[in-house]
């Protein structure tokens, strides 16, 4: 499985900014503008059924598609599991920790920013570009966001200054396996819940 970790700002629903759901964290752009291009990452486009996701890459750079199984001339790579993570600022505990907030399955990851098509909800939220497109997405309710993601400052491997992590160093293999098992288990349990409701 090809996997890519993307760090974004923290929200409950990622269905656009609302009075009850505004983005927190997410770096200097969010601090300066009060919003981010990721605020609609889990809003399904009614026209084509797809999710259009964004992550800010260091220095507005491109994804290294070679690390995702692509070639140097590829414009995109398909069938990537994109794991979205964000920092949960627990004011009561006085701590900030990165957690998995959701994921895309079988996503198309573009080397560079894309500007067409832009779903209507994205446009209403001032979003005019995206980097990742998928038809399958799982957003975790806040209460289920319990899987912590390492930071390179405190642990071997993990996120550095960039908001993307390919997790391909030797130290990351065991961790990636744990993430895949976690995702698979969560999806199985949700499917079982749905079957029980039907039956």
- Looking at residue 198, its pLDDT comes to 76
pTM score, whole prediction:
0.93
Average pLDDT, the chain: 92
pLDDT at 116 over 80: yes
Averaged pLDDT for residues 150-159: 71
Torsion angle, CA of 36/6/113/34, rounded to 10 degrees? 10
- Looking at residue 61, its pLDDT comes to 82
Cβ neighbourhood burial of 71 (10 Å; 0-12, 13-18, 19+): exposed
pLDDT at 125 over 60: yes
pLDDT at 160 over 90: no
Q: Which among 119, 136, 139 is positioned nearest to 128, based on CA atoms?
A: 119
- Looking at residue 194, its pLDDT comes to 82
**Each residue's pLDDT tens digit, 29-57:** 899 999 999 999 999 999 999 999 999 99
pLDDT at 82 over 90: yes
């Amino acid at each position: 499985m090809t996997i890519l970790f993307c760090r974004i700002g923290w929200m409950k629903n990622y269905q656009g900014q609302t009075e009850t759901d505004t983005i927190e964290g997410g770096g200097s752009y969010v601090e300066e503008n009060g919003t981010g291009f990721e605020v609609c990452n889990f809003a399904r486009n009614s026209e084509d059924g797809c999710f259009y996701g964004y992550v800010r890459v260091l220095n507005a750079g491109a994804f290294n598609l070679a690390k995702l199984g692509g070639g140097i001339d590829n414009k995109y790579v398909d069938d990537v599991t994109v794991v979205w993570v964000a920092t949960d600022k627990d004011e009561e505990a006085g701590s900030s920790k990165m957690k998995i907030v959701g994921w895309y399955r079988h996503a198309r990851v573009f080397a560079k920013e894309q500007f067409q098509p832009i779903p209507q909800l994205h446009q209403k939220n001032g979003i005019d570009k995206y980097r990742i497109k998928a038809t399958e997405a799982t957003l975790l309710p806040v209460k289920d966001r319990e899987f912590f993601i390492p930071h390179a400052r405190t642990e071997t491997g993990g996120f550095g200054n960039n908001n993307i992590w390919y997790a391909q160093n030797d130290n990351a293999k065991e961790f990636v396996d744990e993430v895949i098992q976690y995702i698979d288990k969560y999806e199985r349990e949700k499917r079982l819940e749905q079957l029980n409701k039907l039956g």
